Amino acid sequence: MATLNVSVVSADGEVWTGDAAMVVARTVEGEIGVLPGHEPMLAILATGEVRVTLPGGEKITANAADGFLSVENNMVAVVAGKAELV
């Protein structure tokens, strides 16, 4: 199965980057889940959690504020002014 290439970046630097099976983020319109093969998208993030599920099933959670989510060709970028792993 294809995986997503996820990078979580904040203004100060890269917070986390790697492969994932699913990304769940909170946009201004509500929670959205991204699976491999998702159509290209640009969304504004609401302050809140971004949950990344790794191919092995483990979960990584990050807090993000003031940013956006972009999906393109199975590349997911969570770009936030402030972001940190929990």
Binding footprint of another protein on the chain (CB under 8 A): 7, 9-14, 27-29, 32, 39-44, 66-68, 70, 72-73, 77, 79, 81-82
Q: How far is the CB of 25 from another protein (least distance, A)?
A: 11
Give yes or no for a contact between 25 and 32, defined as CB atoms under 8 angstroms apart.
yes
Closest to another protein by CB, 13 vs 57, is 13
Closest to another protein by CB, 20 vs 56, is 20
